[in-house]
Each structure stands twice: as C-alpha cells, then as structure tokens.
Structure 1
Amino acid sequence: MATREHRPTNRWLQLIAGIVAMIMVANYQYAFTLFTPGIKEHFVGTPYSSIALIFTIFVIFETWPVPVAGVLIDKFGVKLLMFIGTGLVFTGWLLGGAFAGSVKDLYLYYGVITGLGAGTIYVAVTGNAIKWFPDHRGLAAGLTAAGFGGGSALTLIPISATIKAIGWEHAMVTWGTIQAVVVLGMTFILRHPPANWAPPGWTPKITKTLAQTAESYTWLQALRMPEFYLLYLIHFLISLGGLMTLGNLSEIARYLHVETATIMGISIVAFAATANGIGSVASRIFWGVTSDRLGRENTMSVVFVLEGIFIFCVTQITGSPILFVVIFPLIFFGYTQINTLLSATTGDLFGARHVSANFGMLYTAKGAAAIFSGWGAARVAAAFAGSFQAPYYIAAACDLLAAVLAIFVLKPLVRAKLASRNLKKEADSASTMINAQL
C-alpha cells in the first residue's frame, strides 16, 4: 500500500479529496448539539451535564489517541488509517442511533467509537495536505480545515430537518451511512507523496514573517522542544471557548432566552449552527492564507484578541435572536482557525515528514480542553442556575492570554531556534561538500 501511494499524482486532486472527506466528517462534531434536545426528551430525568459528557468523551477520543494514529499514518500511509477511521465513524452512529438504550451507551457509541474514527480521519487528511503543500502550508491546511467547517454549513439544516421528520435515532443512522459512504470514496483517492518530496524549486526559508525548518523531527524529538509545549498551551487556551460554544449551543440558546425563536421557519439553533459553519469556512481559509503572508504568530495574536472580544459579547446579548445569529458565527470565525494555524506551524517547526504524528500530539490539547468545555462548563452553568456567563468570562481571558503568548513568547523563540537549526544544517552541508572535494 505504501508503495502504491508513491506513484505520481496530482496534489490538487489530493487536496480536493481531503476537503470532501472533511465535509462529511464534520457532522460528528458539529451536529451533536442538534441531537441533544431529542436525547434529553428520550432519556427523561437525565441531567444535562450527563448528556454534555457525551460530547466531552467524543472530543477526548477524537484527540488523545490521535498521536498513535499519526505515527501509523506516517509509517503505513494514509489509506489504511482512512479505512479504519471510516469503519469506526459508521459503526459509532449506527450503534448510537439503533441500539442506544441509555445515555451511557452513547458514551461508548458516540463518544468513544465515533470519536476515534473522526480523529483518525481528521489527522490523516490534514497531515496529507501539509505533506503535499510545504510551499503553501497555511493555504492547504486552511482549505482542508474549511471542509470541516463547510460540512456543517452544508448539512446541519438537512440533519435538523431529518431529526424533526424521523427522530434523532433514525437521523443518526441515515446520516452516519451517507457520510461513511462518501468518506470511503475519497479514501481510494488519497495517498502520501514520496518521502522528502518537495515541489520543484522550493526550499524552506526564514523571513521577517515566516520561519520554516530545513529538518524533519519525529514526535519523540518534538516532545523535547519547549516550543511544542508552548503550542500545546495555546491550543488548550483557545479551544476552551470554542468547544464550549460548539457542544452546548442548544443549552446556551436556552440560557439566552432565544431557544424558541425561528428564522425563515428554521429553529434558531439550526440556523445559527449553519451560520457558524459558514464562519468556520471563512476563518480557516482567510486566516490560513493570511498566515502565509503575515506569519503564523502575527496572525495568531490578531485573531486571538478578536476571539476574546467575540466570546465576551455572548454575555451581553440575552433575549436577542438577531444578535445570537450574528455573534456566534463571529466566534467560530475566530476559533476555528486554530487547527489551520497550528497544523501549518507544526510543519514549519518540525518538518513535513512526521507531521501527522507531531500534529496528532498537539491535537490532544483539544481533548484536554473538552473536559472543561463540555461537561465542566455544563456543571459550572448548573451551579449558576443555568447561566454560562462565568464560563464565558474565563474563556475570553484565556483567548487574550493566548494572544500574548503567541506574539511575545512563541515568535522570538521560534525565530531563534529555527535560525540556529538551519545555519547548522547549512554548515554541515558545506563541510560535507568540502570533504567530498578533498
């Protein structure tokens, strides 16, 4: 399989196939909030925090086992892991919709099984795009991640309508099947480039805005570098507010007293979730391209400050359906760039060869944040009579802290470390050439 993946191929076709796969896999994360009202009604008497725990478990298993998947992807190629991931997401939603007899069953079916599959597919597709586009990492990561947001923009209203027509259980089985079939089709297209492949004429560079390594580091080597842990902390801080919004949107609408509102006959939550998806698409493309031009850290500092402002605004829009569907897409415009910028930065700092494993390690920060953003935020809100005000104040402060870390700590550290590494490699190459001539 690995040998077949090294045949010449069109890298833009690889990018398109990855985007289509991302569109389908997005719903496992973004559609959860659409299922929560039906789950609450079906399992009467279950506290909302117990239902929110499904989302927390999903994100944990979408992220924490991903480093293992990343290592396997780099070793055996993208196809094998895509097949495994597709089988898992299909099985998870099939069992969740057809056989869940309790919320605890959904912990296993939706949380564990679907989470494992979605995380495997996500890191496989993202890593593949970065390998094929070392010269445009921000663009490739942005377009790929845009598929993840685009899936929700295209499908959340149809999923909501399906739930209304046939119930959440049958809707989960139906859409789980559709999504798995499409992802399976894209799996037959995807393949990794040859080892150490690069576009003709391209070499890593360090400029005032962009810094890229000339080396490739394994995940074990990356774990010995302080910049990895700084990126991990930034990922954790930014994920708090975004994940809290994503997993609890229906309950947040209730807290803001807009849950019964409709727009053009569509429920406020389904309409906002779709608008959130559009914001996600715009975010991943816009900030990805911007980071290629202005630099990763500069871009991070700007967008993180904006995200903190948008997060704070949630505490000020009680009772306004219009502001609800305006502010939340802006939150996703600020939040969902995180994996675009950090996956591209991972390739810049640690090289493209082991990017699936390295980004997989970094991706676990999202799982750590989910503990506080899903179940944790629901518990805090319950302690304040259902108010999400305190969790949003905390999330806004974390966004601002991440902006400070990006521009004042990460940027100077990265520039110094990469300049030192690349100079050393150039000196070693010159020494080797001289010795060969002698």
Structure 2
Amino acid sequence: MWNVKNKYIVLVGALLAQVTIAGLYAWSVFGVALQNERGWGSNEAILPYSLAQFIFALSTLASGPLVDRKGPRIALVAGAVLYGGGLILSSFATTPEMLYLSYGLLCGAGVGFVYVCPLATLIKWFPTHRGFITGLSVSVFGGGSIIFRNVISSYLTTTDVSGSMLKLGLVSFALILTGAMLTNNPPDYIKKAAEKGERDFTTGEMMKTSKFRILWIMYWLAVIPGLLVLGAAKNIGLEVAGLDIAAASGIIAILAICNALSRLISGALSDKLGTLNVLKGSFIITIVSLFALSFLADYKAIFYLAVSGVAIGYGGFLALFPTFTNQEFGSFRYASNYGLVYQAYGLAALSGIFLKSMTGSFTNTFIFSALAASVGFGLSFMIKERNADQRI
C-alpha cells in the first residue's frame, strides 16, 4: 500500500472524506420531504437523524482503536462502504422502521468511521497547530451541510426521496473512497506510535481520572441543543417562528455557516487563549441563545440571532472538546480516547429528541436545554487545563 508524503495532499484527502459525511447535517431537507411525500409525522421524520447521530458516536468506539492501530485508510474505506451503502439501501426503504436501520444504523456507523480519521491523522501532520487543525477539520464537517443542502434539494427537484438517496449514496461512496486513497499517517509515525510519552494516557488510565468524568458530562450537556436545532432547523423555523417554507429552508444555510465558522475560529482561539476559556464562552453564548429562543422567538431578528447563537456555541464545542482531549490526555491513544469521550455526543443526540417528545414543544425543550447547559457551564470551573509547556 502506498503512502502519501506531502502533508497538504493528506489534508485535502482527509477533508474530502470529512466534507462528504456532512450530508448528515442536511437531513432536515430529507425529513421535510418525507413528511410531504409520504405523510410521515415530525417525530418519524427526525428519528433517523437522531438515531444516526447516536450510532455515529457509538461506532467511534470501534473506529478509534482501528485508526490508532491500523491507520486511517482502512477506517475510511469502511466508512465509505457503510455511509454510501446505507444511503443506497435507504433509497429502497418504504417504512420508517426500514429507514431507521438503513440510515440510522448504517449511515450513522459510516459517519463514525470517517469522522475520527481527519481528527486523529491531521494532528499528527500539524502537531504545532492542534487547535486550528482540529477546528478546520470539524468546520469542514459542519459547513459541508451547506453544499449538501443544495445537492439534496437539487436532486429532489428531479426525482423523489428514494432517487435522491440513491444518487447521494453513489456520490458519497466515490468521494470518501477517493479521500481514503490520499490519507495516511506521517512516514515516521509508526516508530513514534510505539512510544508512550510521560504525559500520555491510555484509555483505561484516562477513565480513572475525575477530569475525564467531568469532561464527559460537560460534553453531553453542551451539545444537546445544537444537535436538536441543526437536525430540525426547518421544522423549528416553521413551528417556533412561524416562517414560510422558503425562509425556514434558508435557516439551514445560516446555521451551517455559523457552525462552520465557529469551529474554525474557536479552534484557532484555543491556541491563543486556552481551550477551557473559549469553552466557557461557548457555554455562555449557548445559554443566552436558548433563553432567547424560549421567550423572544416571536421577534424575527431575535429568533435569527438566537438560532445562530446555538449553532455558534455548538460549533465551538465540536472544535474544543477534541482539542481538550488531545492536550490533556495525549496523542498516544487519541483516537481511542476521543472515541470514548465522544459517547457523550451520542447520548446527547437521543436526549434532545427525548426532551422534545416529553415536553411536547420546541419551546419547552429549549428551556430544559438551557438549564442543562448551565449545569455544564458550572462544571467547567471544576477542571483545569495544562499549561502550554506541559502539553504533549
């Protein structure tokens, strides 16, 4: 098997695979189409997305160790088969239950196998810019939904939901596979991988620390609102703000831009200001935005600012938690370690839809999410980050 030695070619390959799985964040386009075309309810239309997010996180428990031991290419190939194949099978789904399996299970697993590869690989190629490169990787994942919102919408103008999923599956398989062929660890990494540094933690060692346990709970509470808002953006615009269909559809692009820019900027700021400080700022933005959505959404300008604020906070969290995991627990087993931390994200994906079903409305869900984020903000004062000269 050949190895690419130019780090910028690896960067292109890894980000190509990463941007492809961003189709997950454009699910609400499919969700509304399923409601209109097949008469499905809103919960039936959003559950494939929530299930995919949960499986996405769960699958990183397998993909993380695979990347640590075998490198990123094999995991990316597996991700291409699972994500592309899941979409192709989804094109044959005629019931919600079938879609839960094909999209929720297979596509979710495919995203999990692809997602960890750029994070774990690019940090090794750009070790002096961990925050920025992590932010760049996750910003491509978040911002790519703008591309796929337009791609899916274009498909839906010429064919039905099934035909659109088939086209997206074939394209996604080809793109991820191309990215896999261009992505590998640095040539000298195999030698370094066998050497555990003094400040490196194995996954077992990390689990024994109170910092890990607090970080995990913080992550869970932090991303509940962002997952819900991004996954049901169009529905929220229609139901909460009373927007027309065109305006509600436009929210997806606005949130994708805010989400992507926040990931990139937060990652860069963490290199300058400290990861934990920027993390606290993301919590504040999220909490204020959620309360604004709960009580002031009738004012259109505030509604747009508030949903953008949730996306900004969410984007920050997705850049900062992996960066914090790397700087505190090291690179030796980073993919495995972050795979475990990332299970908080999977629980959050189910928590949001559970809150929505229990409270009966988006507005009440926003209130409970704001309270949960407030607890996460409080927990951020219970941990400390390493000084710059102590980081690995």
TM (norm. structure 2) is 0.92
Q: Secondary structure at the match of 1:26?
A: helix
The answer for the alignment partner of 1:405 in structure 2 is: 379
Residue 356 of structure 2, aligned match among 378, 381, 406: 378
- The offset of 1:299, in angstroms, is 0.9
Q: Which runs of 5+ in 1 are unaligned?
A: 199-212, 262-266, 423-438
- The question of 1:40 aligning with 2:39 is answered no
- The offset of 1:111, in angstroms, is 0.1
**Do the aligned partners of 1:234 and 1:405 also contact (CA within 8 Å) in 2?**
yes
The answer for the alignment partner of 1:189 in structure 2 is: 182
Residues 72-91 of structure 1 aligned to structure 2 (within 5 Å): 72-91=66-85
**Do the aligned partners of 1:302 and 1:403 also contact (CA within 8 Å) in 2?**
no
Which region of structure 1 is more displaced relative to structure 2, 312-321 or 50-59? 312-321
Residues 158-197 of structure 1 aligned to structure 2 (within 5 Å): 158-193=151-186, 194-195=189-190
| Partner Cα separation in structure 1 for residue 9 and residue 312 of structure 2 | 27
Q: Secondary structure at the match of 2:159?
A: helix
| Partner Cα separation in structure 1 for residue 164 and residue 101 of structure 2 | 18
Which region of structure 1 is more displaced relative to structure 2, 273-282 or 164-173? 164-173
Query: For the structure 1 residues 163 and 258, does the alpha-carbon distance in structure 2 shift closer, same or farther, using more than 3 Å as the test?
Result: farther
How many aligned positions are there? 386
Residue 218 of structure 1, aligned match among 202, 212, 235: 202
The answer for the alignment partner of 2:118 in structure 1 is: 125
**Do the aligned partners of 2:356 and 2:365 also contact (CA within 8 Å) in 1?**
no
Letter in 1 for 2:358: V
Letter in 2 for 1:128: T
**Do the aligned partners of 2:283 and 2:374 also contact (CA within 8 Å) in 1?**
yes
Percentage of identical aligned residues: 24
The answer for the alignment partner of 2:362 in structure 1 is: 388
**Do the aligned partners of 1:146 and 1:285 also contact (CA within 8 Å) in 2?**
yes
| Partner Cα separation in structure 2 for residue 340 and residue 133 of structure 1 | 16
| Partner Cα separation in structure 2 for residue 268 and residue 324 of structure 1 | 12
Query: For the structure 1 residues 222 and 23, does the alpha-carbon distance in structure 2 shift closer, same or farther, using more than 3 Å as the test?
Result: same
Letter in 2 for 1:240: I
- The offset of 1:322, in angstroms, is 5.1
Which region of structure 1 is more displaced relative to structure 2, 121-130 or 214-223? 214-223
| Partner Cα separation in structure 1 for residue 178 and residue 76 of structure 2 | 10
Q: Which runs of 5+ in 2 are unaligned?
A: none
- The offset of 1:361, in angstroms, is 0.8
| Partner Cα separation in structure 1 for residue 68 and residue 85 of structure 2 | 25
Query: For the structure 1 residues 142 and 257, does the alpha-carbon distance in structure 2 shift closer, same or farther, using more than 3 Å as the test?
Result: closer
Residue 227 of structure 1, aligned match among 201, 211, 222: 211
- The offset of 1:319, in angstroms, is 4.7
Letter in 1 for 2:355: A
Query: For the structure 1 residues 192 and 171, does the alpha-carbon distance in structure 2 shift closer, same or farther, using more than 3 Å as the test?
Result: same
| Partner Cα separation in structure 2 for residue 358 and residue 23 of structure 1 | 23
**Do the aligned partners of 1:36 and 1:250 also contact (CA within 8 Å) in 2?**
no
TM (norm. structure 1) is 0.82
- The offset of 1:59, in angstroms, is 1.0
Q: CA RMSD of the aligned region, Å?
A: 2.3
Which region of structure 1 is more displaced relative to structure 2, 321-330 or 47-56? 321-330
